């Protein structure tokens, strides 16, 4: 049985500190669809399914 980590969906994670377990997939729900935005030189990726956010 695979142990699943619980993520705080209100926190914005840094990709350098928490890289994807499977490249291009959400660590929380394994979804591959993301909303992306760019502001002040920061690229933010948000999972369309569960809403976990990472600064890339």
* Domain spans in the chain, listed from the N-terminal domain onward: 12-55
Torsion angle, CA of 9/49/14/25, rounded to 10 degrees? 140
- On the question of pLDDT at 53 being above 90, the answer is yes
Confidence at 5, pLDDT banded by 50, 70, 90 = confident
Residue 55 contacts by C-beta under 8 Å, 6 or more apart in sequence? Answer: 12, 13, 14, 15, 42, 43, 44, 45
Per residue in 8-44, pLDDT tens? 999 999 999 999 999 999 999 999 999 999 999 999 9
**Strand spans (E) along 1-56:** 12-14, 34-39, 42-47, 53-55
- On the question of pLDDT at 4 being above 80, the answer is no
């Amino acid at each position: 049985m695979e142990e699943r980590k619980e993520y705080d969906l209100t926190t914005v994670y840094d990709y350098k500190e928490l890289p994807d377990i499977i490249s291009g997939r959400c660590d929380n729900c394994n979804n591959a669809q993301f909303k992306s935005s760019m502001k002040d030189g920061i690229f933010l990726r948000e999972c369309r399914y569960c809403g976990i956010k990472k600064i890339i």
